[in-house]
Amino acid sequence: MEQQSFDRHLLHYGRDFLNQLIIRADGSYLFTADGRAVLDFSSGQMCATIGHNHPKIVEAMARAGRTVVHLESTMLSPDVIALAETLCDLLPEPLNKVQFLNTGGEANEAALKLAKIATGRFEIIGIAGSWHGTTTGAASVTYAHGRKKYGPMMPGSLAIPSPDAYRCPIRRCKNQCDMACLDVGFDMIDACSVGEEAALIVEPIQSAGGVVVPPKGYLGRVRDYCDQRGMLLVLDESQTGLGRVGELFAFSSENVVPDILTLSKTLGGGIPLSAVVASDDVADTARERGFSHYTSHTSDPLTATVGLAVLGVIVSEQLAERAAAMGDYLCESLLELQKRHEAIGDVRGRGLLLGVEIVADRSTREPGYELIKALTARCFALGLNVNQVGGPHAVWRIAPPLTVSRDEIDQAIEIMDQAFKGGPHPHG
């Protein structure tokens, strides 16, 4: 099918559309209109966390369709209450108050508004290479992409360097971040802030920014900097939460509890569902000061029913633990692939969120911009879908569903190998 025949009425909102229609999805696979099966190692842009069209999600949607799909925002359904209780039971104190929305951008908007009204301040610090959404507030502290040609961002938007050990932003470290970038970053914040710092928002692992993994202790030091300045810590776990990195929440390994947590992609399993979770103190202060963040789809019954099903599968099937084990296997396989192909400059990540940096020259680390485009297209032609991320760099984000099998991982590695070699399809 010619692309012009099906996208002529669609507004183009970023990258070009794939020139094939996807007519079905199941588990780790997508199925095209021409009958091809394609392994999806992007998990539907990180959303199909328990696989495409999981039976529990389909059952939950059908159940909601028979009971209640939508209510006005002041009306609550039993599943909204149950999802709030289930989610808060999985989180440490004092994260006890939750609002359900649709997208990560919406959740981050709510988080920033909560931080501002609770502190009475307006400056928000982000991290270079971050991705928090495309709505105005979230976009103002998103530095990976999409900042050009839109005019002024939200007043008070500040940034510190990314803890990128492979491409040190302050030209100091090589392969092992010593957190000097964080210290320098806050020196610059202190130099340019007007003294109204409300919060710092950070992804425990920068996903769209190139799968940048901070060193151990980074979040703890961030927490200290926030506490010293009376700022709130907002953790955006839209892409790292609920098992993706081998534990339910990425902040758990650091023993750092945020003041505000946001979740999205992994919570809905493909259905638009997000959450902003706040501490009792933040939530109570915000309410006293008149916090308002209404949307037409806050606390939707249907999405809450699906969210309960997703959490049930993740917990009952121990998918966080499974992601840790399968992630180790996938990472080892990618490191073996790196030994065979000079274009793989770096392999990094945690659990089933891994990054493969493609370079034109391994010694100089020159990004392989054109090469990664060709490799990505080649992989899809061979039956594997992978996302290109990394902002100014060339990185594959390897993030299969948490239900991925070893056989599927082996198949994906075979396809990548053939893509680098430029050879025939590994299965004939």
Q: Which residues participate in catalysis according to the annotation?
A: 131, 203, 236, 239, 265, 397
In the block, residue with structure tokens 């916090």: 291
Q: Beta strands 157-160 and 123-127: pairing type?
A: parallel
Contact 179, 167 (CB under 8 A): no
Handedness of CA 200, 203, 205, 210 (dihedral sign): negative
Q: What CA–CA distance (Å, rounded) separates 351 from 86?
A: 23
Q: What CA–CA distance (Å, rounded) separates 390 from 210?
A: 4
Q: What CA–CA distance (Å, rounded) separates 98 from 283?
A: 9
Rg of the chain taking only CA atoms, in angstroms: 21
Considering all CA atoms of the chain, what is the largest pairwise distance in Å, rounded to the nearest integer? 66
- Residue ranges of E strands in 185-326: 197-202, 232-236, 260-263, 274-279
Contact 160, 182 (CB under 8 A): yes
Two tokens at 397?
Answer: 């984000």
In what order do the strands lie in the sheet containing 260-263?
95-101, 274-279, 260-263, 232-236, 197-202, 123-127, 157-160
